[in-house]
A = this chain, B = another copy of it.
Amino acid sequence: MGRQSTEMLKGVLEGIVLTLLSSRPAYGYEITARLRDQGFTDLAEGTVYALLIRIEQRGLVHVEKVASEKGPPRKVFTLNAHGREYLTEFWRTWSFLTERLDQLREEGA
Contact B105 A19 (CB under 8 A): yes
Q: Which residues of B contact A8 (CB under 8 A)?
A: 10-12, 93-94, 97
What is the distance, in angstroms, from A9's C-beta to the closest C-beta of chain B? 8
Which A positions have Cβ atoms within 8 angstroms of B? 1-2, 4-12, 14-16, 19-20, 22-23, 38-40, 89-91, 93-94, 96-98, 100-101, 103-105, 107-108
The answer to whether A6 and B11 touch (CB under 8 A), given A1-B96, A98-B98, A105-B19, is yes
Q: Can you list 6 A-B pairs, Cβ within 8 angstroms, ordered by A?
A: A1-B93, A4-B90, A5-B11, A16-B104, A39-B100, A40-B100
CB-contact partner of A39 in B2, B4, B96, B107, under 8 A: B96
